[in-house]
Structure 1
Amino acid sequence: MANRGPSYGLSREVQEKIEQKYDADLENKLVDWIILQCAEDIEHPPPGRAHFQKWLMDGTVLCKLINSLYPPGQEPIPKISESKMAFKQMEQISQFLKAAETYGVRTTDIFQTVDLWEGKDMAAVQRTLMALGSVAVTKDDGCYRGEPSWFHSPQDLALLAPQLSSPKQ
């Protein structure tokens, strides 16, 4: 929550429940897949939720990821800029989200820009990336790179959705 003060009372409890859904092991798997999928010189971030957020926050890695899932010349985001301006970074995140939905990720699996930008719900970001990987595995276009078993099929994901959204015990 970069632009807000600390949460108190019920707001604090809700934020803690959201934070409990974040999976560090899943973070590692997603980082490895993104780097492999993009096949570019993308630096591996240090482990941890804050580093994962910072790595994705400008939208550059996300845009490179979605572009890598399309054949050359058909990329949905033609211009990716490494801008330091907040509105440009949020615009790139929004472009990624629109492209992910067009690619086949269900609207209900798409995170909100503030979930990533402010770090409000990094578990939602993980769910979107898992859904994107699951859709990519099922497409038979030769663009997916990685181990197919890393992701569930979209049908399995629909069955697992209640489990993925409940806090870990």
Structure 2
Amino acid sequence: MHRATKSGLGAEAHAKIVAKYDPNQASECLTWVQTILANNDPPINFDTNGDRQNFNAVLEDGYVLANLINALEPDSIPSGKLKTRPKMQFKKMELIDLFLVKMKSYGVPDHERFATIDLTESQDLNQVVICLQALARKARTKGHVGFGPKESEANIRNFTEDQLKAGQNVISLQYGSNAGASQAGMNFGKTRMILD
């Protein structure tokens, strides 16, 4: 599918989105995906080069992504849909949509997921990279191989009723002080001249 060439503000906005794409991060994502899919049956082999064309070519049909989520969480996507790589555009988009739905249930937040069009039409491949990085962090918390910074964990604190009441008696210095505050000496703009 081809879109009309962007121009004006649309071209500038798209150029900024394209400039955010980092081939090194994309390569790191593809290497991680290949590590997770190492024991896949049938084996899936692809080039882990992070340039835009290769990154898009590896992932655009959704086949690798669907197998990835199945490796992380078995039976997420029916095996019947993964017998062969899809050829028709709507089948490719269906696999990507299934992957994105499973990403949500896996725990990847909305703001780190991509839209189907970001991948199928190469609109925002950087968002696809962000999504895979988020999935890798989440996979690490579930016992799989991951990469990137460790995901934070909840630090829930339970206070007794006495501790909460004691805190109400403390005056915080964050509130500041308005002692001696007035508007004396304040002057904004030119003064009004009154002549008799």
TM-score bin (small chain)? 0.7 to 0.9
Q: Which has the higher contact order (CA 8 A, sep 6+)?
A: 1
Write 1 or 2 for the structure with the bigger share of helix. 1
Tell me by how many angstroms 1:139 deviates. Answer: 1.4
Tell me by how many angstroms 1:43 deviates. Answer: 2.1
SS of alignment partner, residue 105 of structure 1: coil
Question: For the Cα contact (< 8 Å) 1:67–1:76, is it kept in 2?
Answer: yes
Tell me by how many angstroms 1:155 deviates. Answer: 3.5
Alignment partner, residue 20 of structure 2: 21
Tell me by how many angstroms 1:50 deviates. Answer: 1.4
Alignment partner, residue 61 of structure 2: 58
Aligned residue identity for 1:17: K
Q: Name which one, 1 or 2, has greater alpha-carbon Rg.
A: 2
Q: Structure 2 unaligned segments of length 5 or more: list them.
A: 154-196
Alignment partner, residue 6 of structure 1: 5
Amino-acid identity (%): 34
- Which contiguous aligned blocks of 4+ residues in structure 1 show a shift greater than 6 angstroms? none
CA distance in 1, matches of 2:8, 2:97: 31
Question: For the Cα contact (< 8 Å) 2:36–2:68, is it kept in 1?
Answer: yes
Of the three residues 112, 115, 119, the one matched with 1:112 is 115
TM-score, normalization: structure 1? Answer: 0.81
Alignment partner, residue 149 of structure 2: 152
Tell me by how many angstroms 1:42 deviates. Answer: 2.2
CA distance in 1, matches of 2:150, 2:104: 16
Tell me by how many angstroms 1:27 deviates. Answer: 1.0
Aligned residue identity for 1:106: P
Alignment partner, residue 168 of structure 2: none
Aligned residue identity for 1:4: R
TM-score, normalization: structure 2? Answer: 0.70
Question: For the Cα contact (< 8 Å) 1:137–1:151, is it kept in 2?
Answer: no
CA distance in 2, matches of 1:120, 1:4: 10
CA distance in 2, matches of 1:23, 1:47: 8
Task: After superposing the two structures, state which structure 1 stretch, 42-51 or 61-70, moved more.
Answer: 42-51
Number of equivalenced pairs:
146
Is 2:121 the partner of 1:121? no
